[in-house]
Amino acid sequence: MMDKVLVTGATGQLGSELTQALRQKLGVDNVIAAGHQRSASLELAQGPFIQMDVRDSQVVTDVINDYQVDTVFHLAALLSAVAERLPKQAWDININGLLNVLEAARERQCAVFFPSSIGAFGTGTPVFNTPQDTIQRPNTLYGISKLSGELLCDYYQQRFSVDARGLRFPGLISYQTLPGGGTTDYAVEIFYAALQQQSYDCFLRADSQLDMMYMPDAVNAAIALMEADPAQLTHHNAFNVTAMSITPAQLAAEIRRHISEFEIRYSVDPIRQAIADTWPKHMDDSCAHAEWGWQAEFGLSEMVSDMLDKLAIKLSG
Ligand code: SER
């Protein structure tokens, strides 16, 4: 039963929109938004908002108890490029933060949603049709933390019956809140640059093919998984989900169909390129489809056209 929800990382790219969707569904007061570094937007501040560091186990437990939370969407984490710069903090936030949430969830028997990532794979993983169950030997701190998170969620589910579920998200594309330092951020930046300068200097190579997803699909996926009938779930956690598999060159070509003068150039950032080169190009998400009916609504052309419309309105406001 999802009645009282806590969203950690609520000021982030995914958290800000997931919080809004959950508030619409469950009522504003039933969704507690928790953020740490960024302050609450006007939108988030319309409901309960708390400042919380997920590394503080006591605070995590107190918040879950005080608000009688039954479901935690635990999104607080450092993204891949930042985690390479700050590996120790990334470990602390991404792993110890999750452990604190799982421990509190065990005590209160809460459900937990955990976002894993295409980053949880590594160089030995098949890059096309990446299977649900496959080799995972990530060599980035972010990937190591996400894979460890997947394993911790499985452990708490099997050992302590915590209803821990999760998805392996691809790069997320959205216009409301900027991502905070990931390898797939180019796919968001490109839209701002296209509308504001009609040109973009991309930090990944033209042929860097990666899975991506538009935010409405990501929000729906997280909620649908948490509402899925547990009897139908074989995996529970770390479901591959994708909506499109694209390169910067393909994304630029699609944008050019709307903004004909748009130009893309490439100044490759070796750190982020090296990260992207270890990630799959196209995941097989048939288990998510079979077990809980996952289906993306936005492909490349629908996403680009909606992004450009919505971002243009935002930038003119
Ligand atoms: N979008 C994330 C990142 O680039 C991947 O999960 O870090």
Of 79, 312, 285, 291, nearest in space to 180 by CA: 79
Measured from the CB, is residue 184 less than 6 Å from ligand 1? yes
Q: Which pLDDT score, from 0 to 100, does residue 37 have? A: 82
| C-beta of residue 18 within 8 angstroms of C-beta of residue 75 | yes
Residue 296 has pLDDT above 90, yes or no: yes
Which of the listed residues 114, 167, 169, 184 should we mutate to test ligand 1's pocket, taking the one with most ligand atoms within 8 A of CB? Answer: 184
Contacts of 154 (CB under 8 A, 6+ apart): 164, 236, 237, 238
- In three-state secondary structure terms, 71 is strand
Whether 63 and 13 map to the same domain: the answer is yes
Whether 191 and 162 map to the same domain: the answer is no
Question: Is 306 exposed, middle or buried, given 0-12, 13-18 or 19+ CB atoms closer than 10 A?
Answer: middle
Whether 60 and 114 map to the same domain: the answer is yes
| C-beta of residue 152 within 8 angstroms of C-beta of residue 236 | no
Whether 55 and 153 map to the same domain: the answer is yes
Whether 152 and 220 map to the same domain: the answer is yes
Nearest CA to ligand 1 atom 2: 182
Residue 317 has pLDDT above 90, yes or no: no
pLDDT band of residue 260 (cuts 50, 70, 90) is very high
Residue 183 has pLDDT above 90, yes or no: yes
Whether 45 and 162 map to the same domain: the answer is yes
Angle between helices 215-227 and 13-26 (to 10 degrees): 50
Better-predicted residue by pLDDT, 37 or 195: 195
Whether 89 and 108 map to the same domain: the answer is yes
Measured from the CB, is residue 132 less than 6 Å from ligand 1? no
Does the residue 288 lie in any domain?
A: no
Query: Strand runs (DSSP E) across 136-268, as ranges?
Result: 164-169, 171-173, 199-202, 210-214, 239-240, 244-246, 263-266
Which of the listed residues 118, 173, 210 should we mutate to test ligand 1's pocket, taking the one with most ligand atoms within 8 A of CB? Answer: 118
Whether 44 and 178 map to the same domain: the answer is no
Quote the ligand 1 centre to 21 CA distance (angstroms). 22
Quote the ligand 1 centre to 180 CA distance (angstroms). 9
Residue 61 has pLDDT above 90, yes or no: yes
Measured from the CB, is residue 171 less than 6 Å from ligand 1? yes
Residues with catalytic annotation? Answer: 142
Whether 85 and 179 map to the same domain: the answer is no
Quote the ligand 1 centre to 208 CA distance (angstroms). 14
For 66-115, how does the pLDDT look when each residue is reduced to its tens digit (9 = 90+)?
999 999 999 999 999 999 999 999 999 999 999 999 999 999 999 999 99
Does the residue 202 lie in any domain?
A: yes
Measured from the CB, is residue 117 less than 6 Å from ligand 1? yes
Measured from the CB, is residue 119 less than 6 Å from ligand 1? yes
Does the residue 292 lie in any domain?
A: no
Q: What is the CATH number of the domain that holds 234?
A: 3.40.50.720
Going by the DSSP 8-state scheme, the letter that residue 264 receives in this structure is E
User: 10 Å Cβ neighbour count for 200?
Assistant: 23
Which of the listed residues 78, 114, 116, 142 should we mutate to test ligand 1's pocket, taking the one with most ligand atoms within 8 A of CB? Answer: 142
Measured from the CB, is residue 182 less than 6 Å from ligand 1? yes
**What span, in angstroms and rounded, lies between the C-alpha atoms of 146 and 75?**
11
pLDDT band of residue 182 (cuts 50, 70, 90) is very high
The alpha-helical segments, DSSP class H, found in 27-79 are 57-66
Its domain, for residue 66, covers: 5-171+213-240
Q: Which pLDDT score, from 0 to 100, does residue 20 have? A: 98
Whether 259 and 159 map to the same domain: the answer is no
Does the residue 142 lie in any domain?
A: yes
User: How does the average pLDDT of the chain come out, rounded?
Assistant: 97
Does the residue 293 lie in any domain?
A: no
Quote the ligand 1 centre to 129 CA distance (angstroms). 19
Whether 266 and 230 map to the same domain: the answer is no
Q: What is the CATH number of the domain that holds 184?
A: 3.90.25
Percent pLDDT > 90 in the chain is 97
Measured from the CB, is residue 177 less than 6 Å from ligand 1? no
Whether 76 and 188 map to the same domain: the answer is no
| Total structural domains within the chain | 2
**What span, in angstroms and rounded, lies between the C-alpha atoms of 112 and 92?**
19
For 105-161, how does the pLDDT look when each residue is reduced to its tens digit (9 = 90+)?
999 999 999 999 999 999 999 999 999 999 999 999 999 999 999 999 999 999 999
Does the residue 46 lie in any domain?
A: yes
Helix (H) or strand (E) holding 112: strand 111-117
Quote the ligand 1 centre to 185 CA distance (angstroms). 8
**What span, in angstroms and rounded, lies between the C-alpha atoms of 184 and 204?**
9
Does the residue 289 lie in any domain?
A: no
Q: Which pLDDT score, from 0 to 100, does residue 39 have? A: 86
Quote the ligand 1 centre to 83 CA distance (angstroms). 10
Does the residue 39 lie in any domain?
A: yes
